[in-house]
Amino acid sequence: MKQLFGTFGVRRVANQVLTPEFASKIAAAYGTKVKGTIAIGSDPRTSSEMIKHAVTAGLLSVGCNVVDLGTLPTPAVQYAVRQYYDGGIMVTASHNPPKYNGLKLLDKDGIGTPDDLEEEIEDIYFNDKQERVSWSQIGKAYKRNITDEYINEVINRVDSEKIKEAKLKVVIDCGSGAACDTTPYIVRKLGCEVTTLNCQPDGAFPGRNPEPTEDNLQDLIQVVKAVGADIGIAHDGDADRTICIDENGQFVFGDKSFALVEKSMLEKNNGGKIVTTVATSNAIRDIALENNGEIILTKVGDLVVARKLQEINGLFGGEENGGLIFPDFVYGRDSGLATAMLLEILATSGKPLSELIEELPTYYSEKMKIECADDKKTIVAEGILKETTDYEVDTTDGVKIIVDDGWVIIRPSGTEPIYRCFSEAKTPEEAKRLVEFGMDLIKKYLD
Ligand code: MG
């Protein structure tokens, strides 16, 4: 059982738990296992520079060389590692509030480190087994700017002429996070008229909270409407997620933009394997079926989706939170290419975003949660399984009960003492009925 690592690296309050000493020790443990040349990057948090120096010292002390890529999106670091390096560490707390920071550790393909490697790193960390090298073997540190290369790689992957012809008006809200030097420049190079909002890197995140929820994107919604933009684009703090706003100022849920890009990828490639999680909308399945695609469902989590895409040579994957994965580019959620693909879809279709969204299959969802002590979680899960023998059930992650044109998934949280229940159906009433059915099942085994 891992003690330090969560679903993607380590995340703690900066300088309280995540001190320079802590970061340096983890980096040295990681470097002991991975060796070679390690790329590092960060988001613009107030603590990022301090932690990056500590990470660098830890890596050098075990003989690794360190390439500092500066402030840039997590996917740009993932791209660089896959192309050139033996591993990578991104200093970021993703969408968490400003006081947090964290370390996303990458393997040589630029995917978040797997569980077995993280367990080995923890073993080295807790037992002080870092292999410090002699004075003459200490690594070397240097800087490299990969940002322009990343931007150009994104642009090369879309029909830039078509996008230029469309003369789109785009508002970009980087939330003062890691995409300030990438997304606005990608979009400008694609010939769009760009209005920026919160595109000065600032670790205090003065404009908005780094998580791109509808509540946090109210300024972007207003600006899209005020300037008459075709689309608004927003990212989270480390710019691996992409959320958009349509030309009417409507927030577009992540599963909708996922479905749009999926459709385009399948059409362009004449089908392919699409990977997503068991908690993603049936719209993704429907589009795959209509467009010669094959759908593969995994446990919840972007790293699981990325790994599956690599394993089966998949075409495209993602999650409902605006994380889109293009495995021939980056084995992780990418913001630059997601943005460019959305612009390409607008340009080639010639239709407004709201109309494209309306053409997608419609499903309604409901979410509920209930407190459940950690030691009761297994009893509840076993009870639910016994109750549902008459149904089609998928146990890839939690218990997913599948009915005609809908489902309900019941999952214990991995980090909190709660159970989550999430349903989807063709009508709002049916979605509500299914979520209540799921909640009743949990309650039955709670006491
Ligand atoms: Mg993120």
Q: How far apart are CA 410 and CA 398, in angstroms?
A: 6
- Ligand 1 center from residue 240 Cα (angstroms): 5
Q: Say yes or no to pLDDT of 413 above 90.
A: no
State the pairing for strand pair 406-412/399-403.
antiparallel
- Ligand 1 center from residue 163 Cα (angstroms): 27
Q: Say yes or no to pLDDT of 414 above 80.
A: no
% of the chain beyond a pLDDT of 90: 93
In this prediction, residue 85 carries a pLDDT of: 98
Q: Which helix (H) or strand (E) holds 102?
A: strand 100-106
- List b or e across 358-396, with b for residues whose CB sees 16 or more CB atoms inside 10 angstroms: eebeebbbbebeeebeeebbeebbebbeeebeeeeeeee
- Ligand 1 center from residue 94 Cα (angstroms): 4
- Binning pLDDT at 50, 70 and 90, where does residue 273 land? very high
- Ligand 1 center from residue 392 Cα (angstroms): 34
Q: How far apart are CA 173 and CA 187, in angstroms?
A: 12
- Ligand 1 center from residue 237 Cα (angstroms): 6
- Ligand 1 center from residue 66 Cα (angstroms): 23
- Ligand 1 center from residue 56 Cα (angstroms): 22
In this prediction, residue 374 carries a pLDDT of: 87
- At 168, which amino acid appears? L
- Ligand 1 center from residue 391 Cα (angstroms): 36
- Binning pLDDT at 50, 70 and 90, where does residue 7 land? confident
User: Which residues are part of the catalytic machinery?
Assistant: 94
CB neighbours (10 Å) of residue 228?
Answer: 8
pLDDT tens for 213-232 read 999 999 999 999 999 999 99
In this prediction, residue 277 carries a pLDDT of: 97
Average pLDDT over residues 29-52: 98
- Ligand 1 center from residue 444 Cα (angstroms): 36
CB 239 within 8 Å of CB 245:
no
pLDDT tens for 126-167 read 999 999 999 999 999 999 999 999 999 999 999 999 999 999
- Ligand 1 center from residue 323 Cα (angstroms): 8
Average pLDDT over residues 89-93: 97
Q: How far apart are CA 237 and CA 210, in angstroms?
A: 5
Which of 210, 248, 246, 220 lies closest to 101 in space, CA to CA?
A: 210
Q: Say yes or no to pLDDT of 416 above 90.
A: no
With a CB cutoff of 8 Å and minimum separation 6, the contacts of 52 are: 40, 42, 68, 91
CA distances from residue 128 to 7, 25, 64, 131 in whole angstroms, order as listed: 24, 9, 17, 9
- Ligand 1 center from residue 238 Cα (angstroms): 5
Range name among 242-256, 325-339, 407-421 with the lowest pLDDT average: 407-421
CB 74 within 8 Å of CB 240:
yes
pLDDT tens for 58-80 read 999 999 999 999 999 999 999 99
- Ligand 1 center from residue 69 Cα (angstroms): 18
- Ligand 1 center from residue 420 Cα (angstroms): 21
3-state secondary structure of 247: coil
In this prediction, residue 254 carries a pLDDT of: 95
In this prediction, residue 314 carries a pLDDT of: 98
**Considering the entire predicted model, what is its pTM?**
0.95
In this prediction, residue 446 carries a pLDDT of: 85
CB 361 within 8 Å of CB 286:
yes
- Binning pLDDT at 50, 70 and 90, where does residue 447 land? confident
Mean pLDDT rounded to a whole number for the chain: 96
